[in-house]
Structure 1
Amino acid sequence: MSRQPILRGGLLAALLAVWFCLGRPVNACTIGEVAAIELPFNTVELSKENRRAIAEAVEEAKKWPDVQIQAIVMAGAYIGEHDLDVLQERRGENVQAYLRKLGIRSENIYIVPKTLADGFVVKRADGELAVRQIEVELHPICKGSCAWMCNDPRVTPRTKVINP
């Protein structure tokens, strides 16, 4: 038996699979809100401005219909700060407590500690260093897929529908 027909059949199957995947429009979008927070070095308390940024993101997320909200909190500490583990833990706890006050369920809040290296630092015009030690990402929790939200007029996707 010749291997040539088998190879051609396999190649044809691969080409058909690629055509099938690429030949159809793909409907997808990204739904989410983000609040990035900069704290003074070696502090854990959220300022009024920090709280406002988080509250605005949660307020936008609460507009999503018929879903719960998941919060992923990156609780970071810059390598130039003291007691990185303690800062990460206390920053995460403070943000989690505030998110609970805003109505996010505890079981839907995930804290991710992160050590921030120099790549996360921005130097301001005055020479001071700026680091966003906390990032709060909010995402919908849907039954099954959240794809239906892409076309819902009450939802503003953060990315456009993918339609090659």
Structure 2
Amino acid sequence: MKTKLLALLVLTATTVTPWFSTAAYACTIGEGMETHVPFGATDISNADRLVIANMYIEAKKWPDVQIRAEVIAGAYKGEQGVERLKKLRGENVKAYLLMLGIKNENILTDKRTFTDAMTERAPDGSLTVEQVSVELTPLCEGRCGRLCNDPRVTPNSKLIQ
């Protein structure tokens, strides 16, 4: 019994060890932002538009990729007309991303209702909810790993070994 167990351990070690000794290289690449929209409002501020435009400018530096935009369009449960607000916020952000040059088919929108557990309170007791989020990521033919070592790209995280 001990001989069979030892043989099994040796076989497993020689089979599995190459998987663990080979370095895996990865990084994350993307641009993102979150913002608060005044309760009842359906559009982001000009300052937020500038942040998104700067994100897009950085994303345009990614070589030989398309840009994907993931949008979270949300509303706090206490806002009047939650479903309408989520819909209009999502449509307004999408329209802006289209204007910047992101393809319609590369824009994904997720509508969410935020509860008290998903919010924060400022020291004065006021509610802080970031109802809109935008994340830009590369869409690559094949794999995006080649971007990790490209000097034109600034990854959000570095090499994983």
TM-score, normalized by the shorter chain, greater than 0.5: yes
Aligned match of 2:98: 100
Pairs within 5 Å for 1:38-49: 38-49=36-47
TM-score, normalised to structure 1's length? 0.89
Q: CA deviation at 1:123?
A: 1.8
Amino acid at match of 2:131: Q
Choose the corresponding residue for 1:24, options 22, 34, 38: 22
Q: CA deviation at 1:45?
A: 1.4
Aligned match of 1:125: 123
Deviation sequence 1:6-42 (CA, Å, 0-9, x none): x655544543454222211111000100021210012
Amino acid at match of 1:114: R
Amino acid at match of 2:32: V
Q: 1:17 to 1:39 in 2, by over 3 A?
A: farther
Q: 1:24 to 1:43 in 2, by over 3 A?
A: same
Aligned match of 2:72: 74
Distance 2:79 2:11 in 1: 56
Choose the corresponding residue for 1:143, options 141, 144, 158: 141
Distance 2:110 2:141 in 1: 24
Among all aligned residue pairs of Structure 1 and Structure 2, give the percentage whose two residues are the same amino acid.
Answer: 45
Q: Secondary structure at the match of 1:46?
A: coil
In structure 2, list runs of 5 or more residues that go unmatched: none
Q: CA deviation at 1:89?
A: 0.9
Answer yes or no: is 1:53 the counterpart of 2:51.
yes
* Root-mean-square deviation (Å): 1.9
More displaced, 41-50 or 94-103? 41-50
Aligned residues: 161
Amino acid at match of 2:121: K
More displaced, 20-29 or 63-72? 20-29
Choose the corresponding residue for 1:109, options 101, 107, 120: 107
Is the 2:74–2:111 contact (alpha carbons within 8 Å) kept by the matching residues of 1?
yes
Is the 1:28–1:150 contact (alpha carbons within 8 Å) kept by the matching residues of 2?
yes
Amino acid at match of 1:152: D
Distance 2:39 2:73 in 1: 13
In structure 1, list runs of 5 or more residues that go unmatched: none
